[in-house]
Amino acid sequence: MTDFTELGLSPKVLRAVTEAGYVTPTPIQEGAIPPALEGKDVLGIAQTGTGKTASFTLPMICKLARGRARARMPRSLVLCPTRELAAQVAENFDTYSKHVKLSKALLIGGVSFKEQDQLIDKGVDVLIATPGRLLDHFERGKLLLTGIEIMVVDEADRMLDMGFIPDIERIFSLTPFTRQTLFFSATMAPEIERITNTFLSAPARIEVARQATAAENIEQGVVMFKASRRDRLATEKRAVLRAVIEAEGERCTNAIIFCNRKVDVDIVAKSLKKHGFNAEAIHGDLDQSQRTRTLDAFRDGSLRLLVASDVAARGLDIPSVSHVFNYDVPSHSEDYVHRIGRTGRAGRDGKAIMICAPADEKNLAGIEKLIEKDVPRLENPLKSAAPDTAEAEDKQDDAPKKTRSRSSRGRKADQPREETAREDNPQENKPQENKSQENKPREGKQPPQKKRDDNNVVGMGDHLPQFIAKSFEERRAS
């Protein structure tokens, strides 16, 4: 197989592919497109960056060119785990279907329901959606899935990680049993295997690479880092990250920096900008318009460093990413493969560097077991822990929190340190005249001496009600 002309695509689709600059199909495209055109179910397993999107968009366009959409009843459905991936699939459809009259709708969060409802009411050939927003439209009665002819699940293993499998199963149950299903994933976890066995009928299985392997053109490395003190871990780790980026110099034209937590994404981006780096953050909690602007700036080269959560680890096609920096070692080994797959795409060389603290060594061992090789150890550019000056400069980057040092425990914030020492050591600095009274009861512990009142009863207070005192008076009289 040498070019797209031998895959059986329609002339209009071939024309669009040629105009897009593609000549030779990738292995997953070569294996998946012919059975998809024949109407068979397809199970595609390939590592990220191998062209899975075109593997289902091209045959879908060829098949959907024959037919007409009806209101609220889309003819095909593409499910994606993230908004960015769904938007990218929509762009691919626009590219490959420009010579074919097909309508599409993109259903993702962060966009007005009204605009999406208007598109669905007109009738669409291709519906591209995230599971949550799709079910929102269905439950509002704005959408019917009984007309689905082709259903695609993209990045199925990411769906599993994000907890979408129950939604996927429900959506499958709402579509016709006679649909054609195209199922793509980078890895095949047991849960994914169960889904494919349940909802795919005699699928053509195309596996073009060993599951969860890293591309050979990506140079990998890990910096082993140990903080000088536990409370300086985050500050010194950010200093190491900056030193690693600076050490790459001009070779690092642009890079994606991955963090495990969304809060760390914001903190790291803020720290980098504070130290003069051109960086922005992207994660799931940001407004969709802001996420789109950030990605567009990264694609056109006006943004050098993209600090991201795993929302950017799957499916985003940014061909010219020179570096990937893992600020955190991913807790799931498969995520490492997807993260570093953002570089070294389309045959280019790439570099992936990870920072590993002692607490992350177990996760690092899991990654090396998955990829079946050791990640080369790199020298820490700082040689040692970050200096105190870096800590002072970076202190404001951390999320606001109140901490107490061991020496200040039990002391108020505005209380002088000398008073604390006196409280912690009551025997020190005590006046001599009080030493002879140490064994005496402290002042204030006993009520002041006063003339005895016969009506007073020990333990009952000074204001004893008369009806209670009467019983004590009778006892005294007897």
Q: pLDDT tens, 270-285?
A: 999 999 999 999 887 8
CA distance linking residue 265 with residue 306, whole number of Å: 10
Residues 286 and 373 in one domain: yes
Residues 29 and 92 in one domain: yes
Range of the domain at 344: 218-397
Nearest Cα residue to 159 out of 170, 146, 148, 150? 170
Q: Has residue 464 got a pLDDT over 70?
A: no
Domain boundary among 347, 363, 397: 397
Give the distance from CA 227 to its chain's centroid. Answer: 25
Q: Which residue has the higher pLDDT, 445 or 14?
A: 14
Domain tally, the chain: 2
Concatenated DSSP letters for 164-201? Answer: -HHHHHHHHHHS-TT-EEEEEESS--HHHHHHHHHH-S
Please state whether beta strands 180-185 and 279-282 pair in parallel, antiparallel, or not at all (unpaired). unpaired
Buried b (16+ CB within 10 A) or exposed e, 188-216: bbeebeebbeebbeebbbbebeebbebbe
Residues 157 and 297 in one domain: no
* Residue 462 located in a structural domain: no
Question: How does residue 266 score in pLDDT terms, banded at 50, 70 and 90?
Answer: very high
* Residue 469 located in a structural domain: no
> pTM for this one?
0.65
Domain boundary among 207, 241, 258: 207
Residues 39 and 106 in one domain: yes
Tell me the sheet residues that pair with 42.
182, 204
Cβ–Cβ < 8 Å for 252, 245? yes
Residues 171 and 113 in one domain: yes
Q: Which residue has the higher pLDDT, 284 or 254?
A: 254
Tell me the sheet residues that pair with 329.
none
The pair phi, psi for residue 79, each rounded to 5°, is: -100, 130
CA distance linking residue 246 with residue 251, whole number of Å: 10
Q: Has residue 459 got a pLDDT over 50?
A: yes
* Residue 140 located in a structural domain: yes
Percent of the chain with pLDDT over 90: 50
Per-residue pLDDT at 423: 41
CA distance linking residue 308 with residue 280, whole number of Å: 9
Per-residue pLDDT at 144: 92
* Residue 331 located in a structural domain: yes
Per-residue pLDDT at 433: 46
* Residue 112 located in a structural domain: yes
Residues 176 and 320 in one domain: no
Please give the angle made by the CA atoms of 336, 300 and 93, to the nearest 5 degrees: 75
Q: Has residue 214 got a pLDDT over 50?
A: yes
Question: How does residue 477 score in pLDDT terms, banded at 50, 70 and 90?
Answer: confident
Q: Has residue 440 got a pLDDT over 50?
A: no
In the chain the first and final C-alpha atoms are separated, in Å, by: 120
pLDDT tens digits, one per residue of 66-104 = 878 788 899 999 999 988 889 889 999 999 999 998 999
Residues 154 and 222 in one domain: no
Nearest Cα residue to 96 out of 153, 11, 206? 11
Q: Which helix (H) or strand (E) covers residue 402, if one does?
A: none
Q: What is the mean pLDDT of the chain?
A: 82
Which residues lie below 8 Å from residue 359, measured CB to CB, with a gap of 6+? Answer: none
Question: How does residue 325 score in pLDDT terms, banded at 50, 70 and 90?
Answer: very high
Residues 140 and 190 in one domain: yes
CA distance linking residue 83 with residue 312, whole number of Å: 10
CA distance linking residue 363 with residue 241, whole number of Å: 19
Q: Has residue 1 got a pLDDT over 70?
A: no
* Residue 424 located in a structural domain: no
Residues 239 and 280 in one domain: yes
Q: Has residue 457 got a pLDDT over 70?
A: no
Distances (CA, A) of 132 to 31, 47, 89, 171, 196: 31, 25, 17, 10, 21
pLDDT tens digits, one per residue of 144-159 = 999 999 999 998 888 8
Residues 29 and 130 in one domain: yes
Per-residue pLDDT at 247: 93
Per-residue pLDDT at 476: 72
Question: How does residue 44 score in pLDDT terms, banded at 50, 70 and 90?
Answer: very high
Distances (CA, A) of 224 to 330, 375, 438: 15, 11, 57
Domain boundary among 397, 423, 455: 397
Q: Look up residue 436 and give its DSSP letter.
A: G
Q: Rounded mean pLDDT of 133-139?
A: 94
Query: Edge-to-edge, what's the strand order for the sheet holding 323-326?
Result: 279-282, 305-308, 255-258, 323-326, 350-356, 218-224, 377-378
CA distance linking residue 14 with residue 332, whole number of Å: 39
Q: Has residue 163 got a pLDDT over 50?
A: yes
CA distance linking residue 43 with residue 201, whole number of Å: 10
Please state whether beta strands 204-207 and 42-45 pair in parallel, antiparallel, or not at all (unpaired). parallel
Q: Has residue 302 got a pLDDT over 90?
A: yes
Q: Has residue 404 got a pLDDT over 60?
A: no
Q: Which residue has the higher pLDDT, 392 or 219?
A: 219
CA distance linking residue 23 with residue 334, whole number of Å: 31
Q: Has residue 132 got a pLDDT over 70?
A: yes
Residues 201 and 275 in one domain: no
Amino acid in the structure at residue 388: D
* Residue 294 located in a structural domain: yes
pLDDT tens digits, one per residue of 109-131 = 878 888 899 989 988 999 999 99
Q: Has residue 472 got a pLDDT over 60?
A: yes
Q: Rounded mean pLDDT of 231-260?
A: 94
The pair phi, psi for residue 323, each rounded to 5°, is: -140, 150
* Residue 470 located in a structural domain: no
Nearest Cα residue to 378 out of 281, 209, 248, 472? 248
Question: How does residue 39 score in pLDDT terms, banded at 50, 70 and 90?
Answer: very high
Nearest Cα residue to 227 out of 73, 385, 99? 385
Output the domain CATH number for residue 321: 3.40.50.300
Residues 240 and 197 in one domain: no
Q: Has residue 406 got a pLDDT over 60?
A: no
